[in-house]
Amino acid sequence: MQVVWSSKENLNNGEVMQTSDLVNYFSPDLFLAKLKHKSKAKCLEQMAALFVDSKCIRNGEIVLEMLQQREKLGSTGIGKGVAIPHGRTTATMDVHIAFGKSEKGIEFDAIDKKPVHLVFVVLAPPQEHDNKYLPVLGKLVEFLNETKNRNKLLKAETYEEFVAAITGDSNAE
């Protein structure tokens, strides 16, 4: 996983984003401990449906279309069993991240050609006042670059365990 993380870590207000801040963009409704499908297309469908069910987005079809188009530009499978489909869409008013886990692995055409076990879908509105999208995306990549973090996420079966893995709160695990 190639991570070139620089000034995009800074939010517009000058604050530097912390890993624990990522928790603000997840929710129990956007957590899926077991992804059913093995194909990328079906996985994206399931993740888009998660956003619809949680009422975070207005229209699942345009989100799915955007995610599919993004994949055509290059796979968001960034290697080491991780995929981060992402994009801006008019269907959402704020940055949201959905998490899905697959034990069997998904054929995601990742850069290392290995199956994907951890899927994070990041959605952002077309325009934001505080420009959170890129810092969130960058912080997520940075966090997932650590083997111990990925292992913690692979073990997370509940949303609470997932949050504990993100925040590094060992008592909650």
Partner 1 sequence: MLSKELELLVALQDLDIMIKDIEDVKEIGFDVAGREKLIKAREDLAQKLAKPIVFNYEKLRKRYMRSIVPVKDDTCLGCFMRIPTQLITRGRTDREVISCEGCGRILYWYE
Positions annotated as catalytic residues are: 86
Please list, in sequence order, all residues whose beta carbon lies within 8 angstroms of the beta carbon of residue 95, skipping any fewer than 6 positions away: 25, 122, 123, 124, 125, 128, 132, 133, 136
> Among 11, 33, 41, 111, which residue interacts with partner 1 (rule: CB under 8 A)?
111
> Strands 116-124 and 86-88, how do they pair?
parallel
- CB 160, CB 172: distance < 8 Å: yes
Q: Cβ of residue 22: shortest distance to partner 1, in angstroms?
A: 14
First and final C-alpha spacing in the chain: 27
The token pair that represents 30 in the structure block: 């956007």
127 binds partner 1 (CB under 8 A): yes
Is residue 129 within the footprint of partner 1 (CB under 8 A)?
no
**β-sheet bridge partners, residue 55:** none
Q: Which one of the spans 14-22, 96-104, 133-141, 162-170 is the region binding partner 1 (CB under 8 A)?
A: 133-141
Residues 67-106 that bind partner 1 (CB under 8 A): 72-76, 78, 84, 86-88
| 17 belongs to the binding site for partner 1 (CB under 8 A) | no
Establish if 118 lies at the interface with partner 1 (CB under 8 A): no
Interacting residues with partner 1 (CB under 8 A):
1-6, 8, 72-76, 78, 84, 86-88, 111, 126-127, 134, 137-138, 141
